[in-house]
Structure 1
Amino acid sequence: MRARIRDGRPADAAAVLALEAVFATDRMSARSIRRFLARPGTVLVAEMEGEIVGALVFLLRRNSRWARIYSVVVHPARRGLGLGRRLVLAAEARARRAGCVGMSLEVRTDNLPAQRLYRALGYADHAQLARYYDDGAPGIRLRKPFGRIVEHNR
C-alpha cells in the first residue's frame, strides 16, 4: 500500500478534521481547516486506498522568507510508515520552490516521536516556548535552514 501525497481540497475538510481528533488538545477547528483548505498549496494530505491518513498544514508568509509548518498529523493506525516524513519533505520542497530559506515549526516538549522525526530531518532547536500550547504545555521552536543545494557532475 503506497500512499500518495497530494494537495488538500475543500472536500477533504471532514477527513482532516477527523485526523485532528487524534490530538487531545490544540486541535484545529473545523473553520480553520476549511480556511486552510481553501488556500491552494497550504494543506498536503497523504492518501491510501482512497482514505486520507495524514495531513500537513504549512504557511508561506508574505513578510518572511521562512516557511512554517503549522500542523502535522498521521492516523495512529498508519504511523511508522514514513508518512509524516514524506509530508514534511513535500512541504520543504514546496517552500524551496517558493524561494524560502528554511522551515520552522513548533512542537510540544512531550511529543518525543515528532521531535525525533524533525531532528532526523535536520531541524534544530531555535527557542524554548514556555506555556505555548492551549493547555499550558511548553513547546520548542525548531528550524531548518535549507542552504544551497550543490549538484555534482559524475
Structure 2
Amino acid sequence: MSAPCHKPETAFAASVRLAGPDDLDALVALENASFVDERASRRSIRYSLRSPTMSVLAAVLDDSEGEVLVGAATIERRRKSRIARLASIAVSSSRSGQGLGSLLLDAVEAEALAQDCSLLRLEARTDNLGAIRLYERRGYKHYGTKPDYYQDGTAALCFEKILIVP
C-alpha cells in the first residue's frame, strides 16, 4: 500500500493519510454521523482497513490533543484490474464546505494511481447535489443511472474519470 499524505491550501491544516486500526473508533463515529442508511458496520470498516484490495483514507486535523479525524474515503479494487471504485466518502458535518471533499478526492485519485488503477468510478445519490457538482467540476463523466440503488429507493448516478499520471 502507498501512504498518501496530501496538504491542502485551506484555512486549516488538514492532511490525508492511510487509515489504520487505531482509527477504527473515529471511522465508525464518522460513518454513523454521516449516513442514515447504507452505513458500513464496525466489522465492515475493520475488514476494509485490513483488505489488500481496499484503501481507507483519513482526513485529519492536528490540534492540541493530537489528530482529529474529520473525513474519510474508502476505495475498492479488484486484483489485476485497472479500475478503482470510490465506495464511500464522508466529511464531518462540522467541517462541511471547507474543501475537505476536494482534498479527499485528490487523495483518492492519487491512491488509485499508486495502486496502478487508471479509471475511477463512483456512484452518487441523485439528491446529493453538492457531491454531483464536485464530481462534475473535477472532470467525472456521468455514464449511467442505477434506479432504486439506495435502501430508501433513491437512484444513483454513475460517474467515472480516467486518471492521468501528473
Give the structure-1-normalised TM-score.
0.90
Q: 1:29 aligns with which of 19, 24, 41?
A: 41
Partner of 2:30: 19
Q: How many residues align?
A: 149
The root-mean-square deviation of aligned C-alpha atoms, in Å, is 1.5
Percentage of matched positions with identical amino acids: 40
Residue 75 (1) aligns with residue 87 (2): no
Q: 1:112 aligns with which of 129, 137, 147?
A: 129
Structure 1 residues not aligned, in runs of 5+? 150-154
Structure 2 residues not aligned, in runs of 5+? 1-11
Residue 46 (1) aligns with residue 59 (2): yes
Partner of 2:108: 91
Q: CA deviation at 1:98?
A: 2.3
Q: CA deviation at 1:97?
A: 2.4
SS in 1 for 2:111: helix
- Give 1:4's aligned amino acid: S
SS in 2 for 1:81: coil
C-alpha distance after superposition, 1:25-81 (max 9, x if no partner): 111111111111123661000011211000000012115211100000000110111
Instruction: Provide the rounded CA distance (Å) in 2 between the counterparts of 1:65 and 1:92.
Output: 13
Partner of 2:13: 2
Mapping 1:130-141, distance limit 5 Å: 130-141=147-158
C-alpha distance after superposition, 1:113-134 (max 9, x if no partner): 1111111111111111001112
Instruction: Provide the rounded CA distance (Å) in 1 between the counterparts of 2:13 and 2:138.
Output: 21
Give the structure-2-normalised TM-score.
0.84
Which 10-residue stretch deviates more, 33-42 or 119-128? 33-42
Partner of 2:6: none
Partner of 2:119: 102
Instruction: Provide the rounded CA distance (Å) in 2 between the counterparts of 1:88 and 1:53.
Output: 14
Instruction: Provide the rounded CA distance (Å) in 2 between the counterparts of 1:4 and 1:143.
Output: 25
SS in 1 for 2:98: coil
Q: CA deviation at 1:88?
A: 1.1
- Give 2:38's aligned amino acid: D
Instruction: Provide the rounded CA distance (Å) in 2 between the counterparts of 1:119 and 1:74.
Output: 18
